[in-house]
Amino acid sequence: MGRRRRCTDRGRPVGPTFNEMISAIVLAAGKSERMGRPKALLPFRGRTFVENILDAISRSSIGHAVVVVGHHHEEIERSVPLPSVVFNPDYEQGMITSFQAGIRALPPNMTGSFLFLVDHPLVDAAVIEALIASLAPSRIVLPTYQRWRGHPVLFASEVLQEILALPASQGANIVVRKDPNRIIEVPVNAPGILVDVDTPEQFKLLTKDPI
């Protein structure tokens, strides 16, 4: 991810703790039919949507990131530099297949992994760190703003295994809603966690009046 880390004279990193056991999956495999062009490549704040997400990841303590591509994979890979990339040939069967493809690409012995959606471009490294600090085994950690749940979501490794077992006809929400007691909500002062850009109208509103 090209993370820059200053070191002390003893070689210890200064700044965000580098957490090799936390990963990130960025989903950018959809057709973007309502938008009419790849959402991953929409321009915002001098970068594309996917680059904004990857920049926030690079400034956090996440140790590994993978971008899952599908319908527009050639255009996306040609247009922006990406970390580890996974092509999901089954992307038309639903988002869950892309999430599962990303999980399979994770390094072994991960404590957990974030799920980032490419149409949620307002990602804050401070939010990422707050979620990591709340992670516990078999838990799902998500941010809230004024009691509304948003993205990204952090899944413990045990939950990721449950998601891998889902059929293509079901979504990850099945696992999220399975046991409310294992959900950890983290209140954050970041309204961007609620911003979802799916249509040209929503994109125009984001660029006209960014949060």
**Of 106, 102, 112, the residue nearest 157 (C-alpha):** 112
What integer pLDDT is reported at residue 210 of this predicted model? 66
**Of 156, 157, 159, 130, the residue nearest 144 (C-alpha):** 130
Q: In whole angstroms, what is the distance from residue 181 CA to residue 120 CA? A: 26
Reading the chain (211 residues) residue by residue, the pLDDT tens digits are: 333 333 333 333 333 444 669 999 999 999 999 999 999 999 999 999 999 999 999 999 999 999 999 999 999 999 998 889 999 999 999 999 999 999 999 998 899 999 999 999 999 999 999 999 999 999 999 999 999 999 999 999 999 999 999 998 898 999 999 999 999 999 999 999 999 999 999 999 998 876 6
What integer pLDDT is reported at residue 12 of this predicted model? 31
What integer pLDDT is reported at residue 20 of this predicted model? 65
Dihedrals φ, ψ of 126, to 5°? -65, -35
3-class DSSP state for residue 28? strand
User: Omega into 152 within 30° of 0, i.e. cis?
Assistant: yes
> Which residue do the tokens 């804050």 mark?
124
